[in-house]
Amino acid sequence: MTSEVVTCASCGTKNRVPVVSSGHPRCAACHVDLPWLVDAGDDDFASAVDTKPLVLVDLWAPWCGPCRMVAPTVEKLSREFAGRLKVVKVNVDESPQVAQRYRAQSIPMLLFMRDGEVVNTVIGAQSEHVMRTLTQQYV
């Protein structure tokens, strides 16, 4: 199981945030909810999206300009909705099975998932306002 290191915005403590977990990450020192932004691929995607909070899956590729435009907004949403939203980034070039499963023919493609099921799909770069509104609708 891999993990990301996230610095707590509240106290500055560095915390390991796992890709897979049944709860949601909190700072080990001050117990504030941490943003949950992880990378997943074909091997660990199913377990990465199998969690209680709302999951926002970002299907992207490094060569995709609109994907790079959306990335800062997706990261901002993970911080803004810490404890209520998990963001899973999937590089479609490295994870063709996930891309094929969700028919990602155009990227960026954002999937809002609850209990492992897609509740909404957004294709193409969207404004921060649109993405925040959609996220608020589902959290």
How is the chain split among helix, strand and coil, in percent rounded to 5? 25, 30, 40
Task: Enter the pTM of the model.
Answer: 0.90
Q: Which residues are tagged catalytic?
A: 64, 67
Question: d(Cα 37, Cα 78) in Å, to the nearest integer?
Answer: 6
CB 3 within 8 A of CB 18: yes
Q: Going residue by residue through the chain (139 aa), what tens digit of pLDDT does each one get?
A: 567 888 888 899 999 888 887 778 899 999 999 988 999 999 999 999 988 889 999 999 999 999 999 999 999 999 999 989 999 999 999 999 999 999 999 999 999 999 889 999 999 999 999 999 999 999 9
Do 91 and 61 form a contact (C-beta atoms < 8 A)? yes
